[in-house]
Structure 1
Amino acid sequence: MLLGAQFTEYVQKNVSLYHYRNGIPLTTKAAANFMRGELATALRKNPYMVNIVLAGYDKETGPSLYFIDYIATMHKVDKAAFGYGSYFALSMMDRHYHPDMTVDEAIKLADQCIEEIRSRLVVAPQNFIIKIVDQDGAREHSWRRTTKD
């Protein structure tokens, strides 16, 4: 079985190679379909055990979010989470998410999801990173830490 980090690096290099060879970058949808295809091919040989949430912004179509699971099922979604904490996070998102959220509202919702995971999950992760993906690119917004450095 191959590790998720290896798959991530493999995808990054192939997406860059596509851009280099063709002179145009892949759209978010094309990158998601490439990842799904690679996972489907690997599923028959040496599967990757990864779940993927891919966010992107394309000039023509705007923002998009894709969820791809370890058996190569892909869905375009409005909100996504995976792992044990996803049960709590998705219920918070179902209640509070709306399509025209501002960045501040989205950060507040992310904080609510993190708090819900920390309070309800027995073995909750210690640290969380909030990232923003928009027309300006992908960037780290902030860390939510429960331990001191």
Structure 2
Amino acid sequence: MECVFGLVGDGFALIAADTSAVHSILVHKSNEDKVMILDSHKLLGASGEGGDRVQFTEYIQKNVHLYQFRNGIPLTTAAAANFTRGELAIALRKNPYFVNILLAGYDKDIGPSLYYIDYIATMHKIEKGAFGYGSYFSLSMMDRHYHSGMSLEEAIDLADKCIMEIRSRLVVAPPNFVIKIVDKDGAREYAWRESIKDAGVATA
């Protein structure tokens, strides 16, 4: 019951994801961070098979770092998205990765941007998007409440509404979520949204 969603606001982009690692009817952990910091100004939120997700996202992260090391300049967000899409397209014809990606970044001359890349290497630049079963509800909430140029406070409020809707609507809902943002000051973790049960365990 994975869910990753993101949006672009006024001078920033936001990605939120559940933190559950599950297989069949088993929950292996509830603090899995599925939003990777690619570099100083890029975030990569991923959903899909656990092994594919970890292996592919780490592969992308290391190659983004390698490019910057070799050339002395970082990839733009668009270039990183196109590289990611290209690697998925190559793998699709050999040994496909079942991984869906939201890639967010901030470029000095362009500002914030968000890219949707699915497991069959489809790529689109978007303002809001989501993957997973939770997307049925987060997309409808964003369709209703999202508007261009949202402030950070409005975006966090919308993310919280999406999380509450997912928790209340899905039969097996992920309890915890992580929210990360990227803006002119860089990519960073903003907050964790824990269930009441897990929060109580943490403070016990």
Query: How many Å separate the matches in 1 of 2:172 and 2:100?
Result: 19
Structure 2 counterpart of 1:78, one-letter code: E
Query: How many Å separate the matches in 1 of 2:185 and 2:171?
Result: 37
User: Within 5 A, what are the aligned runs for 1:10-29?
Assistant: 10-29=59-78
User: Within 5 A, what are the aligned runs for 1:57-76?
Assistant: 57-76=106-125
Instruction: Tell me the secondary structure at the aligned position of residue 113 of structure 2.
Output: strand
Query: How many Å separate the matches in 1 of 2:182 and 2:172?
Result: 28
- Determine which structure has greater relative contact order: mean sequence separation of CA pairs < 8 Å that are 6+ residues apart, divided by chain length: 2
User: Within 5 A, what are the aligned runs for 1:22-101?
Assistant: 22-101=71-150
| Gap runs ≥5 in structure 2 | 1-48
Instruction: Tell me the secondary structure at the aligned position of residue 19 of structure 1.
Output: helix
Query: How many Å separate the matches in 1 of 2:161 and 2:175?
Result: 15
Query: How many Å separate the matches in 2 of 1:17 and 1:54?
Result: 18
- TM superposition shift of 1:92: 0.4
When normalised by structure 2's length, the TM-score is 0.71
Would you say how many aligned residue pairs link Structure 1 and Structure 2? 149
Structure 1 residue 9 and structure 2 residue 63: aligned? Answer: no
Root-mean-square deviation (Å): 1.1
1:126 aligns with: 175
- TM superposition shift of 1:86: 0.3
Query: How many Å separate the matches in 2 of 1:8 and 1:112?
Result: 28
Instruction: Tell me the secondary structure at the aligned position of residue 98 of structure 2.
Output: coil
When normalised by structure 1's length, the TM-score is 0.97
The answer to which structure has the higher helix fraction is: 1
Structure 1 residue 109 and structure 2 residue 158: aligned? Answer: yes
Instruction: Tell me the secondary structure at the aligned position of residue 115 of structure 2.
Output: strand
2:185 aligns with: 136
